[in-house]
Amino acid sequence: MRTDLWKGKTIVITGGSSGIGEALLESLSRIPCKIINLSRSEPELIRKISKKKEKRPAEIFHIQADLSSEKEINKAVAKLAKLADGIDVLFNNAGITAHSRFDQTQIEAFRKAFDVNFFGPVFLTMRLLPFLKKNKGAIMVTSTVSGLYGVPARSAYSSSKSALHAVMESARIELSEEGLRFIIFCPPYTKTKLRANGIDGDGQILGESHYSGKSKTPEEVAEKMILSIEDPNSRLVVMDKSGFFMKWMRNISPSFLEKVLYKKLYKDFH
Active site residue ranges: 157
- Phi, psi (rounded to 5 degrees) for 183: -120, 130
List Cβ neighbours of 109 (8 Å cut-off, separation of 6 or more). Answer: 98, 100, 156, 199, 200, 201, 202, 203
Closest CA to 140 of 197, 222, 63: 222
d(Cα 70, Cα 151) in Å, to the nearest integer?
29
Give whole-number Cα distances, 245 to 51, 136, 236, 250, 260, in Å: 46, 33, 14, 8, 11
Alpha-carbon torsion (63, 192, 149, 239), positive or negative = positive
